Structure 1
Amino acid sequence: MKINFKILILVLIFNNAVFPQVNLTSSNLPIFVINTHGQNIPDEPKITVDLGIIYNGEGVRNNITDPFNHYNGKIQIEIRGSSSQLYPKKSYAVQTVDAFGISMNTSLLELPKENDWVFYGPYADKSLIRNIVSYKLFNEMGHYASRSKLFELVINGEYKGVYVLLEKIKRDKNRVDIAKLTPQDIEGDELTGGYIVKIDKVNGTETEGWYSDFPPYTDAWQKILYQYHYPDEDEITLEQKNYIINKINEFESVMYSPTFNEPFGGYYDLIGLDSFADVFLITELSRNVDGYRLSAFMHKDKNSNGGKLKCGPIWDYNFTFGNADYYSAWSTSGWHLYTEFRDDPFQIPFWWKKLMMDKIFTNRIARRWADLRQNIFSNQHILGMTDSLSSLLAESQVRNFNKWKILGTYVWPNYFIGNTFELEINYLKSWVNYRLNWLDSIIPKDFSYVNWKDNDEFIINIEPNSSVDILVSDFYKETVNVDHFTVVVNNPEITASFINNAIHIESGNAGEFGIKLVGWKGNEKRELSQTYKVLVGISDVDDGKVPIDFSLSQNYPNPFNPSTTISFTIPSSTEYYSVLQNVTLKVYDILGREVATLVDENKPAGVYNVKCIMNNVNSAIYFYTLKAGSFFQTKKMMLIK
């Protein structure tokens, strides 16, 4: 974020100004009363204070003389934020605790029980609602975003204005719903999730993380810093650090390669495509000046729960909807993603623009936009939400701006300066209308859609060295604006081709393989299916599917850069199985030196797909060898960088 010296001086002048006392007697909003017992609330660490909440229910008036009927106990509190700390109206990080200072889950204003909260004090956003609107929209889009409740705050008898109760971003079944990760989870599926990482400023003490190996643009002097959010830097283990670093690096390595959008070996199996598309759309709808590069979160669940890297939740959307006077953020036309700000230390990761080079991703954006414009992103819905919130604030905003006399005055980074609250709301609504119109004009209406059958309900079974024909229509339930399909396989042990309206699949050795279908409109790839399993020579044993022979398949893709997949099978009953003690899969260079150990452990019967990532070696021919009991097989692969 960019703050020049003159603006800093203006903020400091406001910070040192004397603001009038406002007498709060009653409100249509809940009233939060904090007593610090003479302590000043610091940046850090948190101090313990008393909080009382007066909340008589929705639509019922709350009087300052009413008892603390909703919460009456201890909290720990500190000032939060980065540039917002320069404002005289502070925001606070809060933890609910018991009488002994132990964190205590509780429900505040009927939000789900937790102990970490944010008391956000809107200041530069004179509509008071930009964060609320953004989070509500993203939540309605089907993703987690902080729930919110408006209230008025009093600290040590002094009225502080209108505030917003927010949920701190954290792992929780009612927040970012991913698996809990403990220090003991250092191997197997337990190690694979859940994680939350972010791209953000570094506040206070150094926030631990790692720098991306990939520049945000060619010859960039800046680097992208990924930070550990969950588990945090005090709890995450070395094994967990290495896992999530490698997972992000795998994604970035694939995105950096020229084959980033190959159906197999590309990025599609690494990320939740819909989450990235939706973060793109909410960022661009609001033209968030910090979008993609600050307060930018991603999360990952365990592999057994899906395991893909997902974008979100969104956070810090106060400098949105025309409320910033730098980087063209006031303009209702133009993509924020393509705004140039190369003097800024905080840049957008390169892979966002790379995603926009993929027709499958841009088609997803186009059809998602068309869907959202029917309801969630309709003018009527967004403006109705704005009107409802501003009506709720009709009374309390008067007290807020009597306390903070900033209407008609520039507060960094305002673009529009309204003399009244009503003008601020009207500007917000007008900006939304113009922005929606521009997005409608630029996002293609010629999109395609395929409602694919779920890959769990459609599995192809075939014997070794045989063939099968399957109608293309068996793979989907509905298509829109798709004129033909192609089919791709993940391993040369099987081949697939079109014969009339059917896919002809021929098999080789036993194993578990996969195919994907690509939907085309003209010469553009528009839609990509999930991976459909092709089980070759796999029979039912003890209600589980296992192969009948050992096999080591050719890696795919081959040649590759930097990752490829190696598949092998272990049978349920062969002459080898009784003496099988250990399975190893190792990679060697042309001189026979070991380069990597991919597998070295006891393995039950089954089909295995192992990802091989070779970032720190040179382009060359390599060999991989599978050993299992007396079974031994070697194959050749080629790394080309």
Structure 2
Amino acid sequence: MRKKLLYLLLIAAVTGCKKESKQAVTPPVVSTTDTTSVPIHFSLKAEYNPKKLGTDSVIFTTVGDSIFGVVPAMSNEKNFTLSFSPFNADVKIGNQRQLSGMIAHDFTNPVTFTYTDKNGKVKDYKIKISNFTGIPILNLTTTGPVVSKDNYVDGSLIVNANGKYDVQAGSIDLQIKGRGNSTWDMPKKPYRLKFKNKAGMLGLPAAKNWVLLANYSDKTLVRNSIAFEMARQFGSDYAPHGRYVEVFMNKEYLGSYTLCEQVEVNPGRVDITELKAKDNGADVITGGYLLELDQRLDAAKYFWSSQGLPFTIKSPDAISDAQLAYISDYVNQTEKALFSADFADADKGYAKFINVDSFIAWFLVKEIMKDSDAKDFSSDFYYKERGGKLGMGPVWDFDLSGGNTDYTDAGLPTGWWIKDSKWFSRLFQDPAFKAKVKARWLVLKANAIPNIFASIDRGAAYLDLSQQQNFKKWDILGIYVWPNTYVGGTYPNEVNHLKEWLHTRIDWMDANL
């Protein structure tokens, strides 16, 4: 090799001196002994997928042996023709040789491609292709516009889980109407879904009733979901589950939503005995009941407690007069014991009537998030199982929490809120109750409380493409939306503000507990 290089240098020197010479130069010898593996690159190109990708080609992201691609077009198309480079690479699915840009495949589920490089090294790549933003998509079709919270509209639902969950094949028959109170008056509407038959949704147990939370004023889009997760980690009773989804209605994109389980008596939800109208005997009338403290009195049946708190009946639906009398009397006995001179007595006081651990778990979630409505106003749920005591749960309604409230002190990260409500202010006068709260807090500080911030980061990362589409539809990041205390201008700023608020909140609670 050295001799060859010297020879070439001599030729170059001679030809450089004799510029008039037309003698060709022999190219140097290049070794073909290359021990490095030639990398493979996968992509989707619009030219090989006409009318499926629009004008945008999709480049895949590789993480280890898994390759992820998101098709930005608003469709449920799953058949795509894959391209790879080098174009003549030895790529197979099973024993079938693949040709770059030539063969279409169904990517409803991940597809494994096997690549053999020129040195015989074999490697499998699991390729997953998602639609739109990569999170599950709910495609709703209705027989007319949904303009009422009172009247259902017939329709159907097709779920594209984007490979994240097993889903029911085909269309789900349903009815849909509006829901919410102040949120229904916002441009991005929340909805209530009622299936004709029970069906599971995105890994959640089968049921008929589901909720789509719009999260319009919560520009992080995560407050409800992270509060639900916090409740599960804190041991709160019957904490609901949420799934981030994209919602289309009659082919119109409505935005990024949270699909939730409806608060109701049902296996997998508020899993207590379902009380029938005929269950009026002494052995069965004790439960189960689902109540909501709700100043709006948004229910057919309700009662006022002796302390002036309004309790609406969520279940049973058709409550009998005897049952209504029983549960109202039980709540009044609870209040009588709680506000008596012997309220702290284990046998005579409040502990005879309430599940103390249940109250503490509910309190800590609501107090950390400083939910504005939870201070004796609305969405405070109570349950009573047959033969059991009164418990609190599930937690609910967190879009106006976590510092996202400008009309009360609930927007401040310091100061008590739920603790100053009627029942809890009395409970905290009992040293034994205070000690139990503090002991529970110390346990949660080790793992569950730090996990709040990991949950926020996971949710924000998962929603990255979704939030971009949502705020293209609803251009509100830079403007005030009632009742924002902060306008960040960007999605990362909104998420960071929530985290900073919670850090301050948790530090304050830790110091004051």
Task: Give the TM-score normalised by structure 2.
Answer: 0.72
- Asked if the contact 2:165–2:202 (Cα under 8 Å) also holds between the matched residues in 1, the reply is no
Alignment of 1:325-336 (within 5 A): 325-336=406-417
Distance 1:238 1:280 in 2: 31
Which residue in the other structure is 1:557 paired with?
A: none
Q: Report % sequence identity.
A: 32
Q: 1:154 corresponds to which letter in structure 2?
A: F
Secondary structure of residue in 1 paired with 2:246: strand
Structure 1: how far apart are the matches of 2:504 and 2:327? 41
**Aligned with 1:400 (options 426, 448, 470):** 470
Aligned to 1:92: 191
Q: Distance in 2 between matches of 1:423 and 1:121?
A: 20
Matched to 1:415, the amino acid is T
How far apart are the structure 2 equivalents of 1:110 and 1:72? 17
* 2:136 counterpart residue number: 30
Cα shift readout 1:70-122 (whole Å, capped 9, x = no counterpart): 4512111100001111101000011111xxxxxx1110111101111001111
Q: Distance in 2 between matches of 1:281 and 1:88?
A: 32
From 402, 406, 426, give the equivalent of 2:496.
426
Residue 300 of structure 1 corresponds to: 384
Deviations 1:225-245 (CA, angstroms, capped at 9, x unpaired)? 11001112xx11111111101
Alignment of 1:455-604 (within 5 A): none
Equivalent-residue separation in structure 1 for 2:321 and 2:430 (angstroms): 35
Residues 30-78 of structure 1, C-alpha deviations (whole Å, 9 max, x = no match): 1111111334442212121121111242299xxxxxxx96451211110
The answer for the alignment partner of 2:202 in structure 1 is 109
- Match of 2:448? 376
Query: Deviation at 1:202?
Result: 2.9
1:276 maps to 359
C-alpha contact 1:54 1:70 (8 A) present in aligned 2: no
Compute the displacement of 1:224 (Å): 1.7
Match of 1:53 among 159, 168, 172: 159
Aligned equivalent of 1:165, options 234, 241, 259: 259
Aligned letter for 1:86?
D
Q: Which amino acid aligns with 1:302?
A: R
Equivalent of 1:255 in 322, 330, 338: 338
Q: Secondary structure at the match of 2:272?
A: coil
Distance 2:334 2:278 in 1: 26
The structure in which a higher percent of residues are strand is 1
Worse-superposed segment, 151-160 or 256-265:
256-265
How far residue 362 of structure 1 moved from its aligned partner, in angstroms, is: 0.5
SS in 1 for 2:291: strand
What count of residue pairs does the alignment treat as equivalent?
A: 384
Tell me the residue number matched to 1:366. Answer: 438
CA distance in 1, matches of 2:484, 2:325: 42
2:316 aligned with 1:231: yes
| d(CA) in 2 for partners of 1:71, 1:258 | 62
SS in 2 for 1:116: strand
Displacement of 1:338 after TM fit? 5.9
Q: Which moved more, 1:126-135 or 1:181-190?
A: 181-190
Number of the residue aligned with 1:211? 304
Return 5+ residue gaps in structure 1 as ranges. Answer: 1-21, 61-67, 98-103, 215-222, 340-347, 444-641
- 1:83 counterpart = 2:153: no
Q: Does the 8 Å CA contact 1:82/1:203 hold for their aligned counterparts?
A: no
Counterpart position of 2:126: none
**Mapped contact 1:254–1:260 kept (Cα < 8 A):** yes
- Shift of the 375–42 alpha-carbon distance from structure 1 to 2, 3 Å rule, reads same
- Residue deviations 1:147-190, cap 9 Å, x none? 11111011112110001110001112211111121122101221
Per-residue Cα deviation, 1:295-339 (whole angstroms, up to 9, x for no partner):
001000111xxx111011111011111111122122211101366
* Pairwise CA distance, 1:263: 2.4
2:423 paired with 1:351: yes
Distance 1:275 1:191 in 2: 22
- Residue identity opposite 1:249 in structure 2: N
Q: Is the 8 A contact 2:277 2:316 kept in 1?
A: no
| Larger displacement relative to structure 2 (22-31 or 271-280) | 22-31
State the AA in 2 paired with 1:230. Answer: S
Letter in 2 for 1:244: I
Q: Tell me, in whole angstroms, the C-alpha distance in 1 between the residues paired with 2:159 and 2:201.
A: 9
Report if aligned partners of 1:77, 1:92 keep a CA contact under 8 Å in 2: yes
Distance in 2, matches of 1:23 and 1:203, equals: 44
Alignment-mate amino acid for residue 252 of structure 1 = E
Distance 2:419 2:254 in 1: 39
Q: Secondary structure in 2 aligned to 1:275? A: helix
Report the residue type matching 1:295 in the other structure. S
Specify the alignment match of 2:404 in structure 1: 323
What's the TM-score once normalised by structure 1's chain length?
0.58
For residue 384 of structure 2, what is the amino acid of its counterpart? Answer: K
What residue identity is the alignment partner of 2:228?
Y
Greater radius of gyration (CA): 2
Q: Which has the higher helix share?
A: 2
RMSD between aligned residues: 1.8
* Cα distance per residue 1:268-290 (max 9 Å; x no partner): 12110001111111111111111
Alignment partner of 1:33: what SS? Answer: strand
> 2 CA distance for matches of 1:141 and 1:59?
26
1:194 to 288, 305, 308: 288
Q: Which amino acid aligns with 2:399?
A: N
Cα distance, 1:24 vs structure 2: 2.8
After superposition, residues 331-342 of structure 1 pair within 5 angstroms as 331-337=412-418
Q: Give the aligned partner of residue 146 of structure 1.
A: 240
| SS of equivalent residue, structure 1 residue 362 | helix
Question: How many angstroms does 1:441 deviate by?
Answer: 1.0
**Residue 631 (structure 1) aligns with:** none
Measure, in 2, the Cα distance between the counterparts of 1:181 and 1:144.
18
* Amino acid paired to 1:274: D
> Against the structure 1 CA distance between its residues 438 and 320, is the aligned structure 2 distance closer, same or farther, given a 3 Å change threshold?
same
1:135 aligns with 2:228: yes
CA distance in 1, matches of 2:479, 2:297: 28
Distance, in Å, in 2 between the alignment partners of 1:328 and 1:289 is 8
